[in-house]
Each structure stands twice: as structure tokens, then as C-alpha cells.
Amino acid sequence: MTAPSAIHQENFRRILTRNISLPLGVGAFSAAVFVGLIFYLLSALGGVEQAERAISSANQIAKLGADMEASMSGYLVTGEEPLLQPFEIGKPRIAAETATLAGLVRDNQDQVSRLRRIAALQAQWNEFAQAIVDLRRKDLDYQAPVRSAGGKSLTDEIRREFAEFISIE
């Protein structure tokens, strides 16, 4: 009686091992795949959040530039100094926010280069606009440089660069 009992016990162990080990192994593999997918999705979500922050920041910088342009235009029309407040405030803010945005996208050198071009164009526009404001303050002919559309071409180029930056993000 010991022989059939030993065979049954060995068969039972083999069947039990197969019926427990196989589902347990498949379950552990599935759990590992699931955890890997979760980490992948969290990583992708982090990239999306970073891109969203970069786009939001770029739009904010572009808005500051538009506010500066409108402020300068208002001053040129009216000669009222308080209208220049957004113009004066915007200059250092644009520079600081552009540097912050460059830090945010530092892993993409093309975008960082684009932001450098934007900063250089913005500095040129700031100089152009400040020269016109100074002419207006001195009651000199400020309209001729405005008519030359040098500032408009700089503004258009800045807008094109921002549009490209945003489309890439």
C-alpha cells in the first residue's frame, strides 16, 4: 500500500505545483508588466506636464511683449507717461521669464537656441522702442522710425519664433 500512496502523493504534489506555480508565475509577470506600464504612463504624464508649462510660459512671455508694444503705442499717441508702466515693467520680466523657460526646456537644445534668438530679438526691439520713446519725450520726430516698420519686423519675427516654439512643444 505504500507504493500506490507514494505515487498518488507525488502526482498530487506535481499537479498542485503546476496548478499553483503556473498561475502564480503568470500573475507575477502580469503584475510586473502592469507596474512597468504605470511607470511609463507616469513618465509620459510628466513630459506632458512639462510641455504644458513650457507652452503656458511661452504664451505669457508673448503676452508681455504684446503689452509692451501696446503700452509704447499708447504713449506715442497720447504722450501720457503712466501708459509706459507696462513697457517699463515688461522689459526685465520678459528677460527673466525667458531665462526661466530656457531652464525648463534645457534638455532640448533646439528650443533653447530658439529662446536665445527670441531674447536677442526682444533686446533689439527694446532698444528700438526705447529710442522712439526717448524721441517722443524730447518732442522730436518719432514718427519716421515708426513708419520704417523696423519695430514691426522685429515683433513679427518674435511672434514667428514663439509660434514655432509652441508648435514643437
Q: Domain of 116: which CATH number?
A: 1.20.120
Count the alpha carbons within 13 Å of 80 in the hemisphere toward its beta carbon. 9
**Residue 4 backbone phi and psi in degrees, to 5:** -65, -35
How many Cβ atoms sit within 10 Å of the Cβ of residue 51?
A: 15
Q: Is residue 18 part of a domain?
A: no
Asked if residue 87 has pLDDT above 90, the reply is yes
Q: For the CA atoms of 127, 129, 133, 139, what is the dihedral angle to 10 degrees?
A: 100
Task: pLDDT band for 2, please (50, 70, 90 cuts).
Answer: low
Q: Which domain holds residue 84?
A: 43-168
Asked if residue 115 has pLDDT above 80, the reply is yes
Q: Is residue 11 part of a domain?
A: no
Task: pLDDT band for 169, please (50, 70, 90 cuts).
Answer: confident
Q: Is residue 14 part of a domain?
A: no
Asked if residue 108 has pLDDT above 80, the reply is yes
What's the pLDDT at 149?
A: 80
Q: Is residue 33 part of a domain?
A: no
Q: Is residue 146 part of a domain?
A: yes
Q: Is residue 37 part of a domain?
A: no
| Residues 61 and 91: beta-carbon distance below 8 Å | no
Asked if residue 111 has pLDDT above 50, the reply is yes
Average pLDDT, the chain: 90
Q: Is residue 6 part of a domain?
A: no
What's the pLDDT at 43?
A: 87
* Location of C-alpha cell 503689452: 67
Q: Is residue 48 part of a domain?
A: yes
Q: How many domains does the chain have?
A: 1
State the Cα–Cα distance between residues 161 and 152, nearest whole angstrom.
14
Asked if residue 1 has pLDDT above 50, the reply is no
